[in-house]
Chains A and B, each alone.
Chain A
Amino acid sequence: MPFRIVLQQADIARALTRISHEILESNRGPDDLVILGIPTRGVILAERIARLISDISGRPVASGSLDVTMYRDDLSRNPTRAPSPTRVPATGIDGSVVVLVDDVLYSGRTIRAALDALGDIGRPRVVRLATLIDRGHRELPIRPDFVGKNLPSAQGERIYVRLHESDGDEFVSIDGGESPGQNGAQK
């Protein structure tokens, strides 16, 4: 299948706005919310969602990043990964409602690693999962609470997410295996 854009910049913005409203609704307001992104594009999305929730509710919402590199179960199967910093609010995450944010949900192994990492830095009251794209093919019993777009895909296909902050342009694409010739995250 040829390279195809499935979300344009406006679609991504709309999806994030909808996710922000859904988070606020399910949490009955912004109290105790901490939005934690999984590097690298998850962090950008988490910051945007935290900003949107703050704008909608009129109250500040904490955001941060959660590095999962050291908790992955495939470290010996892939080239060495450089970890990224973990940033959580100074007050910690104990008792808070943590929303994990990632760009693409695929096997679920990254989220499993994230749950382990989270357990080592504190004890949130609730953990939820938001993802821009859910492409299926889960290998673990993990399910997102908030989804930007469900994108059923074959395992051989590749999903690329590109965001302004990291890539200079913004879209989500799917292709049958050929790279679009750009450096977007491939999942």
Chain B
Amino acid sequence: MKHLLSTRDLTRDEAIGILDVAEDMADVQSREVRKLPTLRGRTVVNLFFEDSTRTRISFEAAAKRLSADVINFSAKGSSVSKGESLKDTAQTLAAIGADAVVIRHPASGAPQVLAQSNWIEAGIINAGDGTHEHPTQGLLDAFTIRRRLHGTASRGRSLDGVRVTIVGDILHSRVARSNVWLLTSLGAQVHLVAPATLLPVGIANWPVTVGYDFDEAIDAGTDVVMMLRIQAERMMSGGFFPNAREYSKRWGLDDARVDRLHAATMVMHPGPMNRGLEISSRAADSPRSTVLEQVANGVSVRMAVLYLVLSGERGELS
């Protein structure tokens, strides 16, 4: 794998392959020595043009557990704030000798630009670009679902027939997009629930079903409820819903809705959570919640992605 830009590019077999490598990486997490010498001498740059704690430290932990050298680069307080272009930044990283660049950028497609340019030879890993994709989040969500369903017998399994309901701000969510492409490739049935104002144009072409009523979706039965964060920072114009109270009442996973879920239904959230808005504290802290598992699994999945991008002769695989 030369780059990881999108889950849309991944075939079912490729996706299962990444999840299987992540299983091996997860095994390492449970050992006394949680470190592998695999990427010794390789340099991974975390190039973050947007604030992120969770994803950056997850990638940092993953790279360090594979013995890579890690350079964290935050656009804030760097030459980027003085007007340096992505091209100049990339060429600087190439001169430093970066072998992989983990990039988060507010512009959709920025990782693609970097991967297709001749500015830098490094493997590019998309850590979230605008409202486009967040492939490692999709992979860690799929990994978490597979582990909850199959436990230690997860290797080689797909998600055939698993019903996943994704609820909330689909319009601004790169997590939702990555999950839709990946989960459907793996055989899951994805149902989206959101206010009409928070659904993107062209959603009719997505391989999903769409509804507006959360209660209806719960009554229909689902194996997974994935709550999305209301991304207030991307709602400059406002008017997507009347107020937080109404949103919470109609599309929030409150205590009453949690009680109506089937006993085996898992509750997921990519974090950070707006407790009391899209999810209640009881739902977030209940045994059915996978929020902390998602964080732990994120390290394993990112180790797998870094391994697959950085091992092997560069460029021999697409």
Contacts and interface: CB of A to CB of B under 8 A. Distances in A.
A67 B31 contact: no
Interface of A: 67, 70-71, 75-86, 116, 120-121
Interface stretch (B85-93, B272-280, B287-295, B306-314): B306-314
Contacts of B23: 85
A84 B21 CA distance: 8
A80 B20 contact: no
Given A71-B38, A75-B312, 5 more contacts: A75-B311, A79-B313, A80-B308, A81-B312, A121-B33
B155 A70 contact: no
Contacts of B66: 70
Residue of B31, B308, B312 most packed against chain A (CB within 10 A): B312
B33 A120 contact: yes
B312 A85 contact: no
Contact of A70 (B20, B36, B312): B36
B37 interface: yes
B38 A76 contact: no
B24 A67 contact: yes
10 contacts: A70-B307, A71-B36, A71-B37, A75-B311, A79-B316, A81-B311, A120-B31, A120-B36, A121-B31, A121-B32
A175 to B, nearest CB: 26
Q: Top 9 A-B pairs ranked by shortest CB distance?
A: A80-B312, A120-B33, A75-B311, A70-B38, A70-B36, A83-B24, A80-B311, A79-B312, A79-B316
Interface of B: 1, 17, 20-21, 23-24, 27-28, 31-33, 35-38, 66, 155, 307-308, 311-314, 316-317
B20 A76 contact: no
Contact of B27 (A75, A81, A85): A85
A81 B1 CA distance: 11
A95 to B, nearest CB: 15
Given A67-B24, A85-B23, A80 B317 contact: yes
Contacts of A78: 312-313
Residue of A71, A77, A79, A80 most packed against chain B (CB within 10 A): A80
Contacts of B17: 82
Nearest to B20: A82
A86 B312 contact: no
A85 B313 contact: no
A75 B33 CA distance: 21
Given A70-B37, A70-B38, A121-B31, A85 B155 contact: yes
A67 B316 CA distance: 24
Given A78-B312, A79-B317, A85 B37 contact: no
Contacts of A75: 38, 311-312
Given A82-B17, A85-B155, A76 B313 contact: yes
Contacts of A85: 23-24, 27, 155
Contacts of A116: 37
A86 B36 CA distance: 13
A102 to B, nearest CB: 19
